[in-house]
Amino acid sequence: MTMNHITNPLPASTEGHAGSAFAGLRVAITGGTSGLGMALVRELLDRRAQVAFVARRRDGVERVVRELPGTHGIVGDVSKKEDIHPIAVQILGALGGLDVLINNASDLGPTPLALLADTECEDIERALATNLLGPFRLTKALLGSLAASARDGRRAVVVNISSDAAINAYPFWGAYGASKAALHHLSRIWDEELVPGGVRVLSVDPGDMDTPLHAAAVPDGDRSALKCPEAAARELAGTIASVLLRRIPDSRAKSEETLV
């Protein structure tokens, strides 16, 4: 265990969903201290997965590990190339392998959101580093373990969290939208390439949720119309379970219609 890996043993009495598709599966989630990521940590732990999660701020990681005993918290920044291998090594050290990777951590680009002409190059670089390069590097670093899981018949899945901004050309969302569009296309190509080896790569839009990211993007928005992240986490867990249980066939057309 390194200084950046924080654990809190699971109490013996903890129980979850009986017969869960996730029971015993090893799951890693980036951005696990807030919004959708934290809701996913809770949901998948409840479904009896072994869960490791990553975030940059140590106090947030320690808080979630305290609140959700049994989780493995890792302090790291997915936008930093030098953090990727330490994060991957800690995930594998904590879980002993990997079946499901959820690339959820995200960066909005400039806040307040800005027209592309007013966007600093550093802001778009950070959005791409967090939303595209980070998921690419972390997936690549963990691919051997995911492929080993698939070879063992456990069914490996990578989920890249997308957005409707990946598809729609919303003014002011340029840095975020371009990075999510690239992540979405990367996911489709990687899925094609990895399906034969039994690893699926999904791109999933969770919908508009009441989270700190949404509040930063739309500070004056009507929050009452937004989905709660816990509901989005349940839906996403159901989608992943369908793939794990092979209810969704291995075809690109089907995965796009059903999951994106």
Ligand X SMILES: NC(=O)c1ccc[n+]([C@@H]2O[C@H](COP(=O)([O-])OP(=O)(O)OC[C@H]3O[C@@H](n4cnc5c(N)ncnc54)[C@H](OP(=O)(O)O)[C@@H]3O)[C@@H](O)[C@H]2O)c1
Give contact residues for ligand X (rule: CB under 6 A): 30-37, 54-57, 60, 77-79, 104-107, 130, 161, 163, 205-206, 208-209, 211-214, 229
For residue 111, the number of C-alpha atoms closer than 13 Å in the C-beta half-sphere is: 12
Cβ-count burial of 68 within 10 angstroms (0-12 exposed, 13-18 middle, 19+ buried)?
Answer: buried
Specify the residue, 105 or 150, whose C-beta has the smaller distance to ligand X. Answer: 105
Longest CA–CA separation in the chain, Å: 56
Nearest to 92 by CA among 44, 12, 148, 37: 148
Residues contacting 122, CB < 8 A, separation 6+: none
Fill in the DSSP letter of residue 209: B
Q: Quick one: which of 76, 222, 232, 90 has its CA closest to 159? A: 232
Residue with Cβ nearer ligand X (35 or 198):
35
Looking at the Cβ atoms of 46 and 77, the one nearer to ligand X is: 77
CB of 192 to ligand X, least distance (A): 22
Least distance in Å: CB of 228 to ligand X?
Answer: 11
Beta partners for 158? 101, 201
For the bound state, the minimum distance from the C-beta of residue 175 to ligand X, rounded and expressed in Å, comes to 12
Residue 198 or residue 206: which is nearer to ligand X going by CB?
206
Shortest distance in whole angstroms from residue 225 CB to ligand X: 11
Residue nearest to ligand X (CB): 35
Q: How far is the CB of 181 from ligand X (least distance, A)?
A: 12
* Dist CA 258 CA 87 (whole Å): 31
By C-beta, is 198 or 229 nearer to ligand X?
A: 229
Query: CA-to-CA distance for 77 and 17, rounded, in angstroms?
Result: 32
Nearer to ligand X, 25 or 217 (CB): 217
Write down the least CB distance from residue 198 to ligand X, Å.
Answer: 25
Host H or E run for residue 151: helix 134-151
